[in-house]
Structure 1
Amino acid sequence: MKQNASYSLNDLVLYFARLGTLGFGGPPALVSAMHRDLVMERQWISEDDYREGMALAQLAPGPLAAQLAIYLGYVHYGIWGATLVGVAFILPSFVLVVALGWAYLQFGGLPWMQAIFYGIGAAVIGIIAIGSYKLTTKTVGKDQLGWALFAVSAIATAVTESELLWLVLLSGAIYWLVKTPPQLIRPGVGNSIAFLLPPLQNFPTDSVLWKLAIFFAKAGTFVFGSGLAIVPFLYGGVVKEYGWLNEQQFLDAVAVAMITPGPVVITVAFIGYLVAGFPGACVAALATFLPCYLLTVLPAPYFKRWGKHPGVKAFVDGITIAAVGAIAGAVVVLARRQLVDIPAILIALATVGLLYRFKKLPELSIIGGAAMIGLLMRYIP
């Protein structure tokens, strides 16, 4: 699997460890950062490989950013690369979230965190907007059909506030039919994932840890879309069905996920910690990400084998365009929730302006400045 690799596995693992430590903004920002860093700047990953990874991440259930990272690790270094990249990407945010879970229980509530989230959340909207703009111009280019599919996906995501799997598949099918009218349709390729779903209902359910494992494995196996798509599923189980957390605790858990770097889905570790301490955090995180890992590396050889076929490539391109449209729509959804007043809007606009004007400006410096603004606005009259 190492042919044509212009980088070492250690280089890639270090990159994803850094992204997992410093990458704010959830799936839209993280997948944009991977494209910018690995495809455009370093040129470690080809555009085709990136698109195949995006398509697989959209087709399979589980967190989008983590699946894309795992696939990119697989491209040149196989299962070993996928495994190390996945761990490197997830572990930093896991450690941070567990530490915050401990502080939450020790000191009660997160008023200071909510203040930080106010500033960071507004800046993140600007970061995501710039990342989405760059990813869109690179992916869609001057393709009129691509722009039409992009617009439909973006509008649908903004209106429904969710990523629609059927629309992603339809986009791939339309692009395929228009760009490369099929001569032969191979049955079974699109269904290669379904048989991999584990029979979760067979596990015993006589302890809290087992209940956590079963519930979060279902979340990782059956929830499609970005990390944000898992939030309604978690709410229904954690608050309504099991009563593990109350409403405020759950909202705080989501806030923790949004203000910490790495994948948004890492909120499961915070929830697991509140329910059953450190073992609960480990079980929740492992149960959520293991299906995501398996549903990426098992179909990956088929994507690598068939991804260069013109018909498959057109289908993948259509899915990728819809995925980028969904990211653009997610910017609108997040902005409606986060930019609730004039100061927040100004922080977001200032972030967009700074990143557009200064291409090399570190995003971490903007995040730090926005956090300080949030704290000052809360504690200084």
Structure 2
Amino acid sequence: MQLASANFAETVRVFARIGLLSFGGPAGQIALMHRELVDERKWVGEEDFLNGLNFCHLLPGPEAQQLATWIGWRLHGWRGGVVAGALFVIPGALVVLLLSALYAVAADLAWFEALFLGIKAAVLAIVAQALLRIAGRSLDTGFKRALALLAFASLFLFALPFPLVVLLAGAAGALAAWKRPGWLALKPAAAPGERGPRPWKATLKAVLVWGAIWATPFIAIAIGLGREHRLWDIAMFFSQLAVVTFGGAYAVLAYMAQEAVTGFGWLQPGEMADGLGLAETTPGPLILVTQFVGYLAAFRAPEPFTPFVAGLIGAGLTTWVTFAPCFLWIFAFAPWIERVRDAVRLKGALAGVTAAIVGVIANLTVWFALHVLFARVGDGAAGPVRVLAPEWASFDWRAGSLALVAGALIFRLGWSVPRTLAVCAGGGLLLGCAT
């Protein structure tokens, strides 16, 4: 296929349009980019698009945003990558910021609480749908199913740290690819084609430049506020999260919820589901839910700022440390794409992580269900096993009913996420006013 050339101004316009229309999660966002950039404008070839997508799956972070960055880099180098990646995020980030500010001041109002009762119930069905989709696509061998089950047990029953579970799954996948590739159903690597010199200089430049950009807020906070300030904790936590965000936002939500709720005490359990509901209704990557967490965390410990200003800084800081690493990964490793795409052990590690992510999302689903459907959930222990036991008398029949409605709309009628959220939010308002 003869590829068309793309001038920079038109590239900016197209990626601005993609950023404004990028609803529907990574599947919808990737499909939108394919239609705009491969089918209609022919700026990128089909094989290159798929190679870029496979490469982005190897990296931590939101694959759709990184794919946009990679395509921008292919078209116009660093400036194209920065523009494409930023425009993919900015529209959704502004909307999430506005909704987070509204949430922070209105969360205690009865009508607002009723509205989010419906949103949280819909989130249960949305997360369950994501679990089934990813499981159906990823767990095609017994070994992968075993990894998913072990990951679920490690998190739900033994409360192992999420990064440790991801690392162990990756190591197991790499070992299986080396010794028993059939366990992962890996396709044989293609014969290597013509390759140029190793691009060490480009990688080193990207690491130095984007590493400095990533580190800038840490320096400012350390000098201006000190390392005991909450903004330092926010920067550290979400930077660590950016390094282990394999498998999309759903994969890290359970870990983020665990740390934000029980580790740092920034949020209440139900508020994580509220944040996910907000992020589901906006364009851009779902990982923007981190901005909601960062806003509330800073809003609730604002000194020396006002709560609103602290929330703005917390949201901006969270977005910075979440997405600066994404640009680092792309610009550092994109020159190597032809060399790494057929690396068997690397593909095996990714397959192992992807399988474990199913268990991670299953843990998230159960965690959300318990905290949405029950007002009180006990967290006990029996030896090394953690026991999450709801108080059955605290069951919320309104949330249960709305969750059933959301499940029927999504699984039986095939409704879209925004439409389902709107109906369940309206249902929450009705039930809230009635009771």
TM-score when scaled to structure 1? 0.72
Give 1:351's aligned residue: 406
Corresponding residue SS for 2:341:
coil
Distance in 2 between residues matched to 1:260 and 1:161, nearest whole Å: 27
Report the 3-state secondary structure (helix = DSSP H, G, I; strand = E; otherwise coil) of the residue aligned with 1:299.
helix
CA distance in 2, matches of 1:76, 1:375: 43
1:125 to 1:98, Cα distance in 2 relative to 1, 3 A: same
Amino acid of the structure 2 residue aligned with 1:363: V
Paired residue secondary structure (1:264): helix
2:124 paired with 1:91? no
- RMSD of aligned residue pairs (Cα, Å): 4.1
Contact 1:172 1:319 in 2 (8 A): yes
Contact 2:66–2:330 at 8 Å: present in 1 too?
A: yes
Gaps of 5+ in 1: 24-32, 58-63, 183-188, 240-244
Q: 1:167 to 1:287 in 2, by over 3 A?
A: same
Q: Which residue of the other structure, out of 176, 179, 199, is the alignment partner of 2:177? A: 179
- In the TM superposition, residue 271 of structure 1 has moved relative to its aligned partner by 3.8
Question: 8 Å contact 1:180–1:310 — kept in the other structure?
Answer: no
1:265 is the counterpart of 2:290: yes
TM-score (ref. length: structure 2): 0.64
Aligned counterpart for 1:338 among listed residues 372, 377, 382: 372
Amino acid at match of 2:113: Q
- Aligned-partner SS, 1:298: helix
Q: 1:37, CA displacement in angstroms? A: 4.8
TM alignment of 1:148-159, pairs within 5 A: 148-159=146-157
SS at match of 2:59: helix
- Amino acid across the alignment from 1:296: C
| Relative contact order, higher structure (CA 8 A, sep 6+) | 1
Task: Identify the residue that residue 82 of structure 1 maps to in structure 2.
Answer: 85
Distance of 1:149 and 1:157 partners within structure 2? 12
Residues 219-268 of structure 1, C-alpha deviations (whole Å, 9 max, x = no match): 222345524533454457976xxxxx8xxx86786565244225321222
Deviation at 1:126, TM superposition (A): 0.7
- Picking from 308, 311, 318, the partner of 2:341 is 308
* Residue identity in the other structure for 2:289: V
Asked whether the equivalents of residues 53 and 67 of structure 2 are also in contact (C-alpha less than 8 Å), the reply is yes
Counterparts of 1:147 and 1:251, CA distance in 2: 29
1:294 corresponds to: 324
C-alpha contact (below 8 Å) 2:138/2:355 kept by paired residues: yes
Equivalent residue letter for 1:72: L
Query: Alignment length, in residue pairs?
Result: 339
Percent of residue pairs identical: 16
C-alpha deviation, 1:121, in angstroms: 0.8
User: Aligned-pair distance for 1:374?
Assistant: 1.6
Distance in 2 between the 1:128 and 1:18 partners? 22
Flag the structure with larger Rg: 2
Unpaired runs of at least 5, structure 2: 39-45, 74-80, 181-202, 246-251, 280-285, 375-394
- For 1:125 and 1:117, how far apart are their aligned partners in 2? 12
Shift of 1:11: 4.9
SS where residue 309 of structure 1 aligns? Answer: coil
